[in-house]
Structure 1
Amino acid sequence: MTLRGKILVLMVAVAVLAGLAAASVLHAAGRENRKNQTRADGPPVTAGTVSLAPGARPRIVFRSMAWGPHRDELASVAADDPAGPRIASGVKCLRFYAAGGTGICLRAEHGTLQDSYRAVVLDAGLKERAHYSLPGIPTRARVSPSGRWAAWTVFVGGDSYAGTNFSTRTAVLDTRTGQLTASLEDFTAYLNGSEHHAPDTNFWGVTFAADDRHFYATMATGGRTYLVRGDLASRTVTSLHANVECPSLSPDGTRIVYKKRVPGLPADAPWRLYALDLATLRETPLAEPRSVDDQVVWQDDRTVTYALAGDYGTDLYTVPADGTGKPRRLLTAGLAPAYPR
């Protein structure tokens, strides 16, 4: 055989081996994906009807992270039996919240070249009422107690709150009229008593009061974060307290639980949960010793729920909001809970 023939045979052999290797990798990846879609070692999930309306038996609605055909779907479980069977809705969300019979679902729309994102307003039966394009990656969502107002936050630069190299956009929607404020940066901000203007200002983590006028949120500027109180009528936000992120207002409107950066903690896990009395601005550390990167949800006036990393992505935990007790796992493989009221 000539030298040219030997080289040709070698090139064909290399191409065949490369093809076999690629096929092996794809087969293994497909097998792993099929295994994850069908594995049955997580909480039991079955298809059914999920409602955001209050029922005779209180339920938790959340994003189910259990592997299988219903992963990432909104699921429902009895609040008094959170380890019990889950009912999956078929509606997939990355972030979710609901109140007053209204839900907000932040979801990915998978495209040919890249994903896009949208905020979808849901009725009590999880039917779409309206949707809005999002300018970035979804991270927070909230609905006012009456269901009239919805808010969401996305990352438009960066993808984590742990560092400082990120930018957010927070929108507020009147679900009755469809009027959308695309960015809270359009509101007039007051910091420490003076009108504030700075190009580095970011907002995130809205939580609504029951009066359908006021809300609280985080404002970041100058390398610091602040709790601000917003007024939807006057379109203003006013600073109240420093070092507050992702606030969540108690059902009775008297306290806020939030994540606070604590000096000395690792840069990638810098937070601890605290409660703030709005009348006195007195802080109380909660009994959760781990770093929580979440906007907690109030289970009732005494207890908050939040997500921490788990075997399926995240699990949900609860802890008393007064600094007593200790955290306990509420359910495995869950994220973004809501307690329909």
Structure 2
Amino acid sequence: MTTLRRRLLTLVAAILLLAGLATGVVLHAAARADRANQPRSGDPTVRTGTLTLDQKGRLAFLNAAPGPHRNAVASVRSTDPEGGRTASTLKCARFYAAAGTGICLQSNPGVLKQSNRALLLDAGLRTRRTFALAGTPSRARVSPSGRFAAWTVFVSGESYSSAFFSTRTSILDTRTMRLAPSLETFSIVRGGKPYHASDINFWGVTFAPDDDTFYATLNTANKTYLVRGSVSRRTVTTLVENVECPSLSPDETRIAFKKRVLSRTNLWHEYVLDLHTLRETALAERHSVDDQATWLDNHTVAYALPTDGRVGSSDLWSVPADGSGTPHLLIAGASSPAPL
């Protein structure tokens, strides 16, 4: 009995110790997040107001500025992106919108399990449908017509630079609510032949206006490919190598993407690919861009970069799409841009 009692006491002590450690980790993370949320002098003015996804001439995004509106869907006038921003009460980890339809990916950490979900939004930011996510939110896109929405999550690992990661990319028909849970079920054509492998991953969908064609990144055998896909035929075809997180230009002639480069200072460089000639143009941004760029118009792309000296925050930058010019700070304390 004495030995059994000692074992039980040891077990109880171990459980209490683990519970204490878990609580400490959560409290530490909360305290760190609270410090990051403290406003500083010079931070942008954010006010609560009415925000809809059918407001023309505005740029929607996720507010990354410290304060009570951090991570909220916000917007500014496209002609005055440095002006005061209007914030909603909806908070997301990733966001995108087009034609009055939005997608909001949320991640709610817990002591034992993290809860992740996708919210399909109407023009008034009201939730039309909720979908459980298999992992941590990574990318989100809506087709130009609002007909389709896509999202990518990390099922394991924390980033594309991790040695071991798995992604899952889904496409939703917002009219019929038919969900393709994983692009891995689509047929793949590589080099003109059907391709099958056990290590396939997709991420970073971007849609064409025809409500069928899309582009995405395919990863297999330690290589990444730009693929062109068809929602109706459930097929993808590889086009070129070393293309990640594609974004189709409004005129459908070019793809903005991040390209993995061998450098001690850069991990990815931002490029634009001409879809007719397959010629690549390096953009003027010299920092490593770990983001899916967004076209503001046919001449300019926007992307997020980490904010200097502020953990977990980012700023939106823009750069000409023809490789000329210099990067320009578009919106301080922001991410996930979506031109309305």
Q: Same fold (TM over 0.5)?
A: yes
> Judging changes above 3 Å, is the alpha-carbon distance between structure 1 residues 39 and 192 closer, same or farther for their aligned structure 2 residues?
same
Residue 7 of structure 1: aligned partner: none
Corresponding residue SS for 1:251: coil
- 1:169 matched to 2:140: no
Residue 251 of structure 1: aligned partner: 250
Runs of 4+ in 1 over 3 A off after TM superposition: 26-38, 109-113
Shift of 1:74: 0.5
Shift of 1:83: 1.3
Residue 320 of structure 2: aligned partner: 320
Deviations 1:33-70 (A, max 9, x none): 66654535311111111111033xx1111110111111
- Kindly report which structure 2 residues correspond to 1:115-154, keeping only aligned pairs within 5 A, or say none: 115-154=114-153
Decide which of 273, 279, 284 is 2:281's aligned counterpart.
Answer: 284
Task: Decide whether the 8 Å contact of 1:101 with 1:124 is kept in 2.
Answer: yes
Task: Decide whether the 8 Å contact of 2:305 with 2:315 is kept in 1.
Answer: yes
Supply the AA of the counterpart residue of 2:44. Answer: P
Task: Return the alpha-carbon distance in structure 2 between the equivalents of residues 95 and 27 of structure 1.
Answer: 24
> Judging changes above 3 Å, is the alpha-carbon distance between structure 1 residues 129 and 86 closer, same or farther for their aligned structure 2 residues?
same
Task: Return the alpha-carbon distance in structure 1 between the equivalents of residues 286 and 213 of structure 2.
Answer: 31
Task: Decide whether the 8 Å contact of 1:40 with 1:68 is kept in 2.
Answer: no
Shift of 1:330: 0.4
Percent pairwise identity: 54
Normalised to the residue count of structure 2, the TM-score between the two structures is: 0.87
Residue 303 of structure 2: aligned partner: 306
Deviations 1:223-270 (A, max 9, x none): 00000000111100000011000000000100001000122345xx41
Task: Decide whether the 8 Å contact of 2:39 with 2:65 is kept in 1.
Answer: no
Shift of 1:331: 1.1
> Judging changes above 3 Å, is the alpha-carbon distance between structure 1 residues 180 and 195 closer, same or farther for their aligned structure 2 residues?
same
Task: Return the alpha-carbon distance in structure 2 between the equivalents of residues 30 and 62 of structure 1.
Answer: 24
> Judging changes above 3 Å, is the alpha-carbon distance between structure 1 residues 184 and 35 closer, same or farther for their aligned structure 2 residues?
closer
Corresponding residue SS for 2:184: helix
- 1:188 matched to 2:187: yes
Aligned residue-pair number: 312
Residue 331 of structure 1: aligned partner: 331
Task: Return the alpha-carbon distance in structure 2 between the equivalents of residues 278 and 29 of structure 1.
Answer: 44
> Judging changes above 3 Å, is the alpha-carbon distance between structure 1 residues 213 and 34 closer, same or farther for their aligned structure 2 residues?
closer
Supply the AA of the counterpart residue of 1:322. Answer: D
Normalised to the residue count of structure 1, the TM-score between the two structures is: 0.87
Supply the AA of the counterpart residue of 2:263. Answer: G
Task: Decide whether the 8 Å contact of 1:164 with 1:223 is kept in 2.
Answer: no
Corresponding residue SS for 1:299: strand
> Judging changes above 3 Å, is the alpha-carbon distance between structure 1 residues 285 and 29 closer, same or farther for their aligned structure 2 residues?
closer
> Judging changes above 3 Å, is the alpha-carbon distance between structure 1 residues 273 and 29 closer, same or farther for their aligned structure 2 residues?
closer
